[in-house]
Structure 1
Amino acid sequence: MKKSLFAMAAILGLALTSCSSDDDNKNDNKSTFVLKVDDLKGDINDGVVTLDPTQTYTLTGGLVVKGGATLVIPAGTVIKSSATALSTSLFIAVERNAKININGTAAKPVVMTSGKATPAQSDWGGLIIAGNAKVNTGDNGTSEVGALSYGGNDNADSSGNINFLRISYTGSKYTNEKEYNGVSFFGVGSGTVVSDIYTFESGDDGIEFFGGAVNASNLVIINSYDDSLDFADGWQGTATNVYIKGVTKAGVEGSTNAKDPSTAVPMTNAKIINISIIKGDAAFLADEKAINYKEGGGKQAYTNLYVADGMPKDLTKISTDAGATANIAAGNFTISNYTFGASITVFDGVKLSGTTTGALGAGAGADLPTWANWTK
């Protein structure tokens, strides 16, 4: 009997120890946020919230990851915007000092899309990320949408990671000056890992960088109804492997600062490596050209650029402000190694160098490169 009692006590002790250990692990990631599959919205104020990839979530309002909290989205997770909620109320935002970890894979990307039966551009907002990196509009700006504070002095800041994200039917608008993009980076630092993003049917820009120093690679931007790739406000980053098709305004729009383009610091210093720009069908006019060198312009260096036939004859649209004029005179707008379609005959403003044929841009000229096959 004594042996039996001792055995029972030992088993009970192990069970209690196990429960205590489990509770400790849960406390490490504990969040007060209540996660609802069919009603995804609200503020994640603390801890780590991890979505379930076996579920399809319905975004019914703004989902905001507050400073100190983390949102983890595993491979294969699907988020659809509400079919009935106001389109401008539907967005996912990440504050300064918060993190988002989008952990998609080529076989199982994370999907953020419209929940309407017949989806269209501007059905919902998009993804907004704010960080502590330098922005030439000030250290405490407020994002155009989402009302997030952004900017600071930590160019190495990390907001987490985005890997293999398919984001569609974004870009809802409050006004012509206040609208969402597919993905917006506000003062995001280089510690943030960004690769393999596919934006489709964005009512505004596909991807935009507002200052900061984050780098990005493997970007597929299809059918944007403003600019496809946009950067401004002193962005100090590199975008590598960029495939753009369906250009409404500019394939790439780059500027230093809209309000004071001659003196704003840091000056935009953008490097775009391996990029293809294809106008798309007749609905897309590319009326601000392949590259719009805008508002101060800054330093913009393009390497291995492919621009398909059918684009407007002018390769570039050039701002006439003093900052842009000075930067062009200084040789700060360059393209090295390029292939241009026969429709392009005017190359104002840009300094061309290197090979003039054979550049394949993102990897396959006008065709989708193999690294982007996951988007099919």
Structure 2
Amino acid sequence: MKKLTYLFGLLGLMGLIFISSCSDDDDGGSTAAPSVTAPAITSVQVGQSVDLSFSVTTPGGYKSSSVSQSSGSATVSTEPAAGATSGTVVVSYTAGTSAGAATVTLTVTDNADQTGSQNGTVNVSDSPVPTISGIPATASIVGGNTLEVTAELAAEDGIATFTVVIDGTTTAIDSTFTGSPTSANVPVAYPTSLVTATTTAEIVFTVTDGDGDDVSFTHTLTIEPPSEVELASSRLGLAEYPGFDAATNTLTMIKGITYILDGFVFVNYGQTLVIQEGVVIKGLPGQGSGASALIVARGGTIEANGTADEPIIMTGVADNLQGSVLNESNALWGGLIILGTATNNECNGGVCGTNIEGLPADTEPRGIFGYGDTEILGPNGELVDENGADYATIPTGGQEVTFTEDAADDSGVLNYVSVRHGGSIIGDNNEINGITFGAVGTGTEVEFIEVWSNLDDGIEFFGGTVNLKYVVLGYIGDDFIDYDLGYDGHIQYALAYQKASTSVSSDPNFGEHDGGSSPDDATPFGSPIFSHITYYGADADGLQALVFYRDNAGGEIWNSIFHNADGQILIEDRSGEDSYERFLAGQPGGDNDNRIFISNNLFSDISVGGVDLANINDVFGAVDGNDLNDVPASTTAIQGAFGPINAIGAPDFGTTGTSIFVPSQAGDAATGGADASAVDPFFDNVTFRGAFDPAATTNWIDGWTKTAEVIQ
């Protein structure tokens, strides 16, 4: 069919698409006048009808609309609700009997009688124009999902092009059609992002025929925030999950959305997990390979930045955070595991091949920690099952990585993170700790973290050098702080709070301090320094020991309080290499780096076998292996070294709420603290003992910890 000559002048009218709004706002209204945005030029055949969608903004509240046209007829068919501040006005336009360019003018009036208008242009053709069908005018979708529609196109003059414009950005779908077909069905997929508030996207579909006639159809998509997003275990790590940014290899967990972990969810090598303040992460229940946990593999990064007002909470799905589970409930899910390449004696002199505790060693090679090994990774940092299915060559987009020792290994940030009700059982003597650090280095920032009601240990370190400040451990089933394999970091300001009924293991300790493992004399021995810890026990708490040094472990405890607990600080003395060797190494003139040293600590209401200790020397002892009834003669030397530099006293704790952990300014803990910053600049120089400043007006555990909530 022939085109009329008016089309040659149509280009001069193209500027009418978005003519500036003409407003009658001389009435001095305090709000802005309405603004109107016209749709793109569309085409219609003589005598036929087409809908035009005008976007309107009415700060003064929508009142009414009117329409005029240069030819044909037009009526308002759809308009916003009265008082709305934005929306869409749909004008139904019917072309007249003559071809040409028609102008349709929409005028909008607000509640202050201010007006705004805009001109839209319609190309009226004497030949049939293309049509678009199969797409609804509106739809709603939950963010993170994909809108999928099929555009049904028809054009007697043959389809030339089809374009999709999403919020002003053109997306090529199938811009050319071989052979100019008269009909085509084109699938369109629009992936949406996770959102925290309802938002909309405008999608404009335009088809053009062989004679240059075009028709546009506007679809308005409403995107709703999801209440939950489930993350299933994946070899690709974060890459399969909604919201993953492939350009930066980053997934951001958004405040207002609850994330459900179904299985072992990994942050693979090269990937970053960003967790916004206030995010809640919940793990599904399960044991063995069916457990759920969040694992940051070597080379992955976690950026968990909560605040005191909006902490990041990790818990089980049964916990609605409103008391749906008992305070003592544990093993509702796994826990948090972070792996790095920092110093540890498992790797010393050889290649690491050890999976971290809490992960099945035979099926999950991403659980390896440490250094000295070379791995072939897929394009998303994935390792595969080592049982005969490893990559033999580097896959497309993959790489070969050699993991090297880095004491300053940076696995990211944990700030104001509370991990609750964890500890799924993987196998015999293999449970998931609340938080596990496997060879994590000093480049990792960890401050204000809590583990609450975990079946196994609160925090366990497998080597590494990571430093921690402001740590809360409550209702722990086994050891509150456990370290192995040469851990050599620092901890300042920590609370270990026990309730008797929550000691569920056969040998719980406030601290289980282990050194090497096969052999015990592997170096480095492990010599972390703890300062300003409050170990707060309960009657009949079932502790094996306050702190138990074993397997050639060293370590130092300064400026701390041990209160209301049954047990001693024990140092293993057996034939061969043992922790007693670390004690001897640290005696005057000895090794300051791999020693046991306990100084400036206050002991209050400590008993052994139900008998209160009145002599500070009795707090310390040696033990042959794990037989607490076998007391070697070396006990005398240990008591002679540590008795004079520690004390039995009365912290004079408060009596209500979290003040029960805070000493009185007149109590024995208010003074006597040594300057730990002289040992390492990581430490603050404060003169009180224990985790809490007697002179502080607020308690740093209030407002964000489960511990504070329970104590209140």
When normalised by structure 1's length, the TM-score is: 0.85
The structure whose RCO (Cα within 8 Å, separation 6+) is larger is 1
How do 1:115-264 and structure 2 match up within 5 A? 115-116=317-318, 117-118=324-325, 120-138=329-347, 139-140=351-352, 141-146=354-359, 147=364, 148-152=367-371, 153-246=405-498, 248=503, 249-262=508-521, 264=522
Deviation at 1:86, TM superposition (A): 4.3
1:326 to 562, 571, 581: 581
Match in the other structure for 2:200: none
* Aligned-partner Cα distance in 1 for 2:334–2:573: 29
After TM superposition, the structure 1 = structure 2 runs for residues 95-134 of structure 1, keeping only pairs within 5 Å, are 95-116=297-318, 117-118=324-325, 120-134=329-343
Gap change, CA 1:45 and 1:38, over 3 Å in 2: closer
RMSD value over aligned CA atoms? 3.0
**Are the equivalent residues in 2 in contact too, given 1:233–1:255 (CA < 8 A)?**
yes
SS at match of 1:142: coil
Which amino acid in structure 2 is aligned with residue 270 of structure 1? Answer: P
Give structure 1 stretches of 5+ with no counterpart.
21-28, 30-34
Query: For 1:243-322, what aligned pairs fall within 5 Å after superposition?
Result: 243-246=495-498, 248=503, 249-262=508-521, 264-282=522-540, 284-287=541-544, 289-298=545-554, 300-312=555-567, 314-316=568-570, 318-320=572-574, 322=577
1:259 partner letter: S
What is the deviation of 1:145? 2.2
Distance 1:191 1:64 in 2: 20
CA drift at 1:342: 4.0
Distance, in Å, in 2 between the alignment partners of 1:45 and 1:105 is 24
1:335 to 584, 591, 598: 598
Identify unmatched segments of 5+ residues in structure 2: 1-9, 21-39, 41-164, 171-192, 194-225, 240-248, 319-323, 372-404, 587-594, 607-612, 622-637, 650-667, 670-688
2:198 counterpart residue number: none
Tell me: CA distance 1:270–1:95, structure 2 relative to 1, closer, same or farther (3 Å): same
- Rounded to whole Å, the distance in 2 between the matches of 1:17 and 1:113 is 38
Rounded to whole Å, the distance in 2 between the matches of 1:363 and 1:285 is 25
Q: TM (normalized to structure 2)?
A: 0.46
Q: What does residue 26 of structure 1 align with?
A: none
Match of 1:347 among 620, 628, 646: 620
User: Kindly tell me: are residues 18 and 134 of structure 1, through their superposed partners in 2, closer, same or farther at Cα, counting changes over 3 Å?
Assistant: farther
Question: Residue by residue, what CA displacement relative to the aligned partner does 1:216-252 show, whole Å, maximum 9, x if unpaired?
Answer: 1111001111100111111110011110011731101
Shifted more, 335-344 versus 105-114: the winner is 335-344
For residue 96 of structure 1, report the CA deviation from its aligned partner. Answer: 0.4
SS of residue matched to 2:702: helix
Q: For the pair shown, which has the larger CA radius of gyration, 1 or 2?
A: 2
Identity %: 27
Rate the CA distance shift 1:50–1:260 in 2: closer, same or farther, 3 A.
same
- The 5 A counterparts of 1:74-85 are 74-82=276-284, 85=286
- Cα deviations by residue, 1:279-336 (Å, 9 ceiling, x for unpaired): 2354x3112x1111011122x1111010003322x23353535231211112221111
Q: Is the CA contact (8 Å cut-off) linking 1:219 and 1:243 kept in structure 2? A: yes
Contact 2:550 2:578 in 1 (8 A): no
Instruction: Supply the distance in 2 between the matched residues of 1:280 and 1:241 (Cα, whole angstroms).
Output: 20
Counterparts of 1:303 and 1:170, CA distance in 2: 30
Task: Evaluate the alpha carbon distance shift between residue 107 and residue 336 of structure 1 in structure 2; reply closer, same or farther with a 3 A threshold.
Answer: same
- Structure 1 pair 69/319, CA: closer, same or farther in 2 (3 Å)? farther
The offset of 1:130, in angstroms, is: 0.5
